Structure 1
C-alpha cells in the first residue's frame, strides 16, 4: 500500500511540474502570436497548473484515455517553433489525429503534421486593432469588460478604450472601479486595478480605460480621446430600435453599434454560431439577442438539422434581474413589482419568438413563458418539443453529447451528466447553454423534453464577445477543422461505447 501511495504521489508531482512548465509557453504563444490553446474547448490561457490538469482529464468524455500532458507539451513546443498566426487551436484534437500517424513525438514529423493541419494560419496576416467602447457599465458591461481585458493578448484584436456612464456621485469613478474589482457572483477581478481621478481613467491589467460621463450618445467626441472607428457596445437597453441606437453613429469616432439585448424591427439578432455568418461589413447596428435566446437557439438548431422541430414550448426558470424590486414596490410590469428575493414570479419572455430571427424556419413553431426565481444568476430553459421523427433518451443524449464535443456548435453547447449538478455549478460557464443529459425525457416517440442550464450573465457575455470579434474580423479560426458529426454516426459511436 505504501509503495502505491508513494508512486501515486510522485506521478502527480511530475504531472503538476509539467503543467507548471506549460504556463509560460502558453502565455508566449498567446501574447506573441495570438494563439489560443485549448483542450476540447477548455482554454488553457491564464489557468493554474491544477486547472490545466483538470482540462486534460476532461478528454475522458470522448474516450477512455486521459490526454497525456507530455503530448500536450510536445505540441505546444512545436507550435512555438513553427509560429502560426492567430488561431484557436484544440491541442486534444491535434494529439488524436497525430496519434493515428503512429510516429514519435520527438521527431520532425510532429512539426510537419502541424504545418499541414494549420496551413491556413501559418502565413496569416496580423489584424488591425479595433477600439471598443462600452456604453453602460452594469452586469453585462462589467463582464464584457473583464473578458476584453483578459483577451488583450498581443493587442492585435479588440481594445477596450472607454466606458460611458452617467455620473452617479462625486466618487463615481472609485465606485465603478470597485464594482469591476469585486463581484458577488463571479468573484474578484483576476488582476490589478488602479484609478486616476484627475484623468478619469481605470488601469486594469495594463488596459487603460477612459471613463466618459455623458447623457447624450450623439454628443460624445471619442476622437478627443484617441478613439476612432470604434464599435460601441450598448449595455443600457434604453434603445432597441435602429433609430435610437443610431444616435451612437452620430458621435465622432464611432463606426458600428452592438446591442446587448433583443433588437426590434429590422435589426439583425445574432446568435453566434447559428447565424453569425449573416454579419456583414455593411451592418452598422447589430443585436446580440438575449441570454435565453443564445442558450436555446444553438440546441434547437442542432435538433432541427438532425431531427426536425415541428413545434414546442420553452419555459425559462430565470434568475432575478435588476429590473425587479428587492421588496414590494411599484413596477410598470405585471408581477415584477413583488419582492424578487422572496417570490417566484410568472412573467413573459420573447425568447421563443426571437429564435425565429436566427432560425427563420422555426417561425411560429415555438411558444414561451418565464418564471423569475430568487437566485442571483444561472437560469434553466425547459424545451418541450415535438420532433420530426422518433427518438429515445440514449439516442438524443448521444447526439447532443457529440454535438457539444465535436460539432461547429461546440463553443455554444456543453453537455453534463452529473447527478449532483445544481445551478451554482454552472456559474462561469463560457458556453451559451449546457444540456443536462440526466434530466432528458424521451420515450421512443416524437416528444422530448430537454433541460438546458445557462449562466445568463457570463455565458451570454462570452457570446457577446464572439459577436464583437466577428464584427471586427478578429474572431480566431478554430483548428483543426472537423466536419459536423452526422446524427447517425454520433449515435452509433456513443451507444457502442455505452
Structure 2
C-alpha cells in the first residue's frame, strides 16, 4: 500500500510539473499572437497547474482517454514555433485528429498542416475596436470583466469607457469597488487602481475612462481618443431604433448593441443562431435576452433533428434588481411583492422572441415565468410536441454530441450528474446547459431542462456578438461540425 501511495504521488507531481511548464507558453501565445488554447472547449488561459490537469481529464468524456500532458506540451511547442495569427485552437482535437489521420507525419507536421489558415499572417496589431459600456449594472460590470480578461495584445475588443450618471462624491471609488467584488461571481481576477483626478479605472493594464452623463446624445467620445466605437447600452432604458439612435449622434460612435430584447424592426441576435446575418449596415442591434439566448440553440437543434410542432417554455428565473427586496409599489403585476420571500408568477417574452432569431418556430411557442428567491442561475423547462418519436437516450446523446464538437459548442453544454444544483452553474460560459438526467421523452412529447447563468452566460453571448460586429472573432481550428 505504501509503494502504491508513493507511486501515485510521484506520478502526480511529475504531471503537475509538466502542467506548470505549459503556463508561460499558453500565456505568450495569447499575448503575442492572440491564440486562445483549449481542451474540448475548456479554455486553458489563466488556469493553474491543477486547473490544466482537470481540463486534460475532461478529454476522457469525449475521446475515451485522458489527454496526455506530454502531447499537449508538444502541440504548444509546435504552436510557439509556428507563430500563428489570432485563432481559437483546440489542442485535444488536434491530438485526436493526429491519431486518426496522421498519415505518417510527425505531430509537428500535422499541426502545421492543420493551422495553414492562420499561418504567415501579419502579427502586427490592427489597433482593435473601441467599446463603450453605457451603464454599469450587473451586466455592465460582467461585460467589463470579460472584456478586460480578453484584452490580449490589443487587436480585439478594447474597453475604452464607461458612461454612468453622477452619484455621490466618492462615486468612482464605489463603482470600482463593485467591479472588484461581487457577491455572486466573486472577486475580480486582477488589480484595480482608481484615479479620481482623471476619472479613470486601471484594471489589469486596461485604462478605462469613466464619463458622467445623463444624456446619451451629448457625449463627444473623440475628446477621449475614442473612435468608431461600439456602444453597448446595458441600461435597458431605450429598446427601439429611435431611442438607441441617440448614441449614434455622438462623435466617435459607429454602432450600438442593446443588452435586452429589441423592439420594432431591430435585429435580435443570438450568437450561434443568426449572428451570420449581421452586416456592416446594421448600426443598431439587440443581443436579445438571457432566456432567449439559453433556449434558442437547444430549440434549433431539436427542431432540425426531430421537428417541433408546438411547445411551452416555463422559466424558473432568479430575481432581478427591478423587483423589490420587501413589499413595495411596482407597476407590474405581482412584481411589487418581496423578491426575497416569494415565488412570483410573471410573464416572459422569451418564447415569442425566439422567432426573431429562429423564424421557423414563429407561432409555435408559448411562455411564462416564475421568479424565485435566488440571486443568479435560472432554469428553462421546454415542453415540446415533436414530429417524430425519439427516445430519451437518443435525444441526450444528440445534445451531448453537439455540446462537445459542433458549431453550437459555445452555446450548448450538457451534464448528467445526479447531484448538480443551480449554484454549480454560476460562471458558466455557455448560453445554456442541458440537464440530461431530467430529460423526459414519451412518444412524441419531449421535456428538456436547461440551466443558464442568466448573468455571466448571457454576458459571454453579448461579447460574442460584439466580436462578430467588430469582426475580431478568432479563426476556430480545427473546424467544428455544423449542426
Q: Same fold (TM over 0.5)?
A: yes
2: CA distance between counterparts of 1:143 and 1:406? Answer: 27
Query: Which residue of structure 1 aligns with residue 48 of structure 2?
Result: 48
Query: Which residue of structure 1 aligns with residue 372 of structure 2?
Result: 373
CA contact (8 A) 2:84 2:120 kept: yes
1: CA distance between counterparts of 2:262 and 2:338? Answer: 28
- 1:91 is displaced (CA, Å) by 0.5
Query: Which residue of structure 1 aligns with residue 121 of structure 2?
Result: 124
Q: Secondary structure at the match of 2:345?
A: strand
CA contact (8 A) 1:435 1:452 kept: yes
Query: Which residue of structure 1 aligns with residue 406 of structure 2?
Result: 407
Q: Can you list the C-alpha shifts for 1:104-163, whole angstroms capped at 9, x where unaligned? A: 9xxx72232112211111133454410000000000000000000000111110100000
More displaced 10-residue stretch of structure 1: 205-214 or 476-485: 476-485
More displaced 10-residue stretch of structure 1: 108-117 or 186-195: 108-117
CA contact (8 A) 2:201 2:208 kept: yes
1: CA distance between counterparts of 2:370 and 2:381? Answer: 11
Query: Which residue of structure 2 aligns with residue 460 of structure 1?
Result: 458
Query: Which residue of structure 2 aligns with residue 493 of structure 1?
Result: none
Query: Which residue of structure 2 aligns with residue 111 of structure 1?
Result: 108
Query: Which residue of structure 2 aligns with residue 357 of structure 1?
Result: 356
- Spell out the pairing of 1:444-455 with structure 2 (5 A cutoff): 445-455=443-453
Query: Which residue of structure 1 aligns with residue 327 of structure 2?
Result: 328
Does 1:484 find its partner at 2:456? no
Q: Can you list the C-alpha shifts for 1:176-202, whole angstroms capped at 9, x where unaligned? A: 000000000000000000000000000
Query: Which residue of structure 2 aligns with residue 287 of structure 1?
Result: 286
Does 1:341 find its partner at 2:305? no
Does 1:423 find its partner at 2:414? no
CA contact (8 A) 2:102 2:110 kept: no
Query: Which residue of structure 2 aligns with residue 190 of structure 1?
Result: 189
CA contact (8 A) 1:173 1:200 kept: yes
- 1:484 is displaced (CA, Å) by 3.3
CA contact (8 A) 1:127 1:474 kept: no
CA contact (8 A) 1:406 1:484 kept: no
2: CA distance between counterparts of 1:283 and 1:221? Answer: 22
CA contact (8 A) 1:353 1:363 kept: yes
2: CA distance between counterparts of 1:185 and 1:96? Answer: 37
- Spell out the pairing of 1:137-156 with structure 2 (5 A cutoff): 137-156=136-155
- 1:446 is displaced (CA, Å) by 1.0
Q: Secondary structure at the match of 2:226?
A: coil
2: CA distance between counterparts of 1:123 and 1:288? Answer: 34
- 1:87 is displaced (CA, Å) by 0.6
- 1:101 is displaced (CA, Å) by 4.1
1: CA distance between counterparts of 2:108 and 2:298? Answer: 37
Q: Secondary structure at the match of 1:134?
A: strand
1: CA distance between counterparts of 2:313 and 2:20? Answer: 45
- 1:483 is displaced (CA, Å) by 2.5
1: CA distance between counterparts of 2:305 and 2:157? Answer: 35
- 1:103 is displaced (CA, Å) by 7.8
Does 1:71 find its partner at 2:74? no
Q: How many residues in Structure 1 have an aligned counterpart in Structure 2?
A: 481
Q: Secondary structure at the match of 1:145?
A: helix
Does 1:174 find its partner at 2:149? no
Query: Which residue of structure 2 aligns with residue 81 of structure 1?
Result: 81
1: CA distance between counterparts of 2:87 and 2:121? Answer: 9
Query: Which residue of structure 1 aligns with residue 470 of structure 2?
Result: 472
Long gaps (5+) in structure 2: none
Using structure 2 for the length normalisation, give the TM-score.
Answer: 0.98
Query: Which residue of structure 2 aligns with residue 489 of structure 1?
Result: none
- 1:482 is displaced (CA, Å) by 3.3
Q: Secondary structure at the match of 1:190?
A: coil
Q: Can you list the C-alpha shifts for 1:204-242, whole angstroms capped at 9, x where unaligned? A: 000000000001111001000000100000000000000
CA contact (8 A) 2:127 2:154 kept: no
Q: Secondary structure at the match of 2:79?
A: helix
Query: Which residue of structure 1 aligns with residue 28 of structure 2?
Result: 28
2: CA distance between counterparts of 1:117 and 1:227? Answer: 38
2: CA distance between counterparts of 1:183 and 1:171? Answer: 19
Query: Which residue of structure 1 aligns with residue 397 of structure 2?
Result: 398
